[in-house]
Amino acid sequence: MSAADRNLPAAARTSPDARRAQRLPVMRRGIAPGRGAGRPSGLEEASGAEAEAARRERTQVFLARVATGIGILVLWQVCAAALAPGYIARPLGVLGQVPTVFGDQSFWSAAGSTVLAVVEGLIIAIVFGTVIGLVMGRVRDVDRALRLYVDSFYAMPLVALVPLLTVWFGYTPLARLAVVVIEALLPVIFSVAEGGRSLSAEFTDVARAYRAPWWRIWAGIVLPASLPYLLGGIDLAIGRALVGAVVAEFIASLNGLGYYILFNVRSFQEDRAMLAMVLLVAFALAVRVPFSMFVRRELPWYRAG
């Protein structure tokens, strides 16, 4: 092969086409090029049947879920009707209250108040949590200084702090915001710091070997590498933020879904309270489901690697 190379005229030896022609057979697995591709080529006929089977399975799962849901509701209705006093919530009762509650302006203002507090608090927590987490993860001294406190606060039930916070901030929405921020901040710091610590030395070696300046290392390597950890932290933070908001409303009697629930339960209007809970769940799902879909779609490399 080397003799043949030498006999080629100089131009042919160096042109891209000649290089390609001289190239040894490339050993590639049957991975189709392009983003997100993973199906082996040459199984075209099978793919139609596969898709059909997948669709059927998805329908079955959906039906099973719906059937289970209906089953639970029926069981609940029957048991409540037969065994419980009248003020205990039951599905039909909840449905009956829908026009009253959803038509009530103060309900929607309460819902808006809670949702806004959670969103504001999350944004603040994510921004500050990421910065603190990154510094902790990458600067050893900071990590050593702060780790004990982060771990302790993360472990304790923060709801115990709420009465204290209501004294500091008064019975105001600011107290609720403070609770939300603290609840959401810790999982974000914790996760991002973990991500920073786990950064493979090989990545920074590559960056340094190719002479990347320090800001490129932070923005281009530390940040993307920590992204999966950050997203995991955000997922946790969403749940904790909701809990924090509701508990703060309980204790500080703030206008919001949490307080609405408390008020109606104490007024023996459990069906109405139940509707507020449904809305809370819907809000949580509405944030978390698109979030995990986003993660699955935009970070295929993390899932796989």
Partner 1 sequence: MTQQAGSPLIHVDQVSKRYGDRTVMSGVNFDVGPHEIVSVVGPSGCGKTTLLRCVAGLTAPSGGAVSIAGHVVTEPPEGVGVVFQHFGLFPWKTVFGNVAYGLTVRGISRREAEPRVRELIGMVGLEGFEHSYPHQLSGGMQQRAGLARALAIEPRVLLMDEPFASLDAQTRDLLQLEMLRILDQRPAATIFVTHSIDEAVLMGDRIVILTGHPGVVHDIVEVGIPRPRGREAVDSERFRVVRDYLWTVVMKGQGRQRADDGSNSLVNTHREGTAE
Q: Cβ distance 180 to 244 under 8 Å? A: yes
Q: How many CA atoms lie within 13 A of 76 on its CB side?
A: 13
User: Using CA atoms, how far apart are residues 256 and 190, in angstroms rounded to an integer?
Assistant: 29
Window 253-292: contact mask with partner 1 (x via CB under 8 A): ----------------------------------------
Q: Cβ distance 251 to 166 under 8 Å? A: yes
Closer residue to partner 1 in complex, CB, 57/205: 205
Residue with tokens 């406190």: 149
User: Using CA atoms, how far apart are residues 56 and 62, in angstroms rounded to an integer?
Assistant: 10
Question: Which one of residues 10, 11, 27, 49 is an interface residue with partner 1 (CB under 8 A)?
Answer: 27
Give min distance, CB of 3 to partner 1, in A: 9
Q: Cβ distance 226 to 194 under 8 Å? A: no
The one-letter amino acid code at 280 reads L
Give min distance, CB of 163 to partner 1, in A: 44
Q: Cβ distance 129 to 185 under 8 Å? A: yes
Q: Cβ distance 168 to 175 under 8 Å? A: yes
Residue 9 found at the interface with partner 1 (CB under 8 A): no
Closer residue to partner 1 in complex, CB, 35/85: 35
Residues 191-220 that bind partner 1 (CB under 8 A): 202-203, 205-213, 216
Selection from 62, 171, 183 nearest residue 118 by Cα: 183
Closer residue to partner 1 in complex, CB, 45/210: 210
Residue 29 found at the interface with partner 1 (CB under 8 A): yes
Residue 48 found at the interface with partner 1 (CB under 8 A): no
Q: State the CB neighbour count (10 A cutoff) for residue 3.
A: 6
Residue 22 found at the interface with partner 1 (CB under 8 A): yes
Question: Which one of residues 12, 116, 225, 277 is an interface residue with partner 1 (CB under 8 A)?
Answer: 225
* DSSP 3-state of 305: coil
Residue 160 found at the interface with partner 1 (CB under 8 A): no
Residue with tokens 């702090």: 161
Residue 221 found at the interface with partner 1 (CB under 8 A): yes
Binding-site residue total for partner 1 (CB under 8 A)?
43
Which range binds partner 1 by CB under 8 A, 28-36, 44-52, 183-191, 284-292?
A: 28-36
The alpha carbon of 295 is separated from its chain's Cα centroid by a whole number of angstroms, namely: 8
* DSSP 3-state of 27: coil
Give min distance, CB of 46 to partner 1, in A: 20
Residue 301 found at the interface with partner 1 (CB under 8 A): yes
Site of interaction with partner 1 (CB under 8 A):
1-2, 5-6, 14, 16, 19-20, 22-24, 26-29, 31, 33-35, 37-38, 202-203, 205-213, 216, 221, 224-225, 227, 299-302, 304-305
